Amino acid sequence: MKQLTKAEEEIMQVLWQLEKATVKEMMELLPKPKPAYNTVSTIVRILENKGFVDYEKQGKGHLYFPLMPKQEYSNQSLNTLVDNYFQGSFKSMVSFFVKKNDVDLKDVEAMLKEITKNKD
């Protein structure tokens, strides 16, 4: 999977939220300071070239939509993170976050319950 830059990911987050949108509609959801229209348009074209976005004609413009579901991208990104920083071990990743981020034991127990529930 191709990695996205921070700016590309920001545009994808908006597009996943809207499902289909023009550049102008995407810009409305971007935080301030808002990038220029041409900047967003360029990023969307880059996303199109990377295979993350496609479009359909809408009058004189384009209506963009994501080709990759957010869940699929999230899963692949998480797997990449685990592989690159935790030698492929989810256990090491969870242990790291528990130690470094003062995760409460109740939170860990809730996560374990959720995992157990989803396995059944």
**Residues in CB range of 3: below 8 A, 6 or more apart:** 80
pLDDT of residue 57: 95
pTM for this model (two decimals): 0.77
pLDDT at 19: 96
**Looking at per-residue confidence, does 116 or 15 come out higher?**
15
User: Which CATH number does the domain housing residue 27 bear?
Assistant: 1.10.10.10
Q: Say how many domains are in the chain.
A: 2
The domain of 101 spans 88-120
Q: What is the mean pLDDT of residues 12-17?
A: 97
- Based on the fold, state whether residues 57 and 108 are members of the same structural domain: no
- The set of residues, in sequence order, having a beta carbon less than 8 Å from that of 44 and lying 6+ positions away, is 11, 23, 26, 53, 64
Asked if 14 and 54 sit in the same domain, the reply is: yes
Task: Note the pLDDT of residue 1.
Answer: 67
Average pLDDT over residues 4-24: 96
Instruction: Look at residue 94 and tell me whether its pLDDT is greater than 90.
Output: no
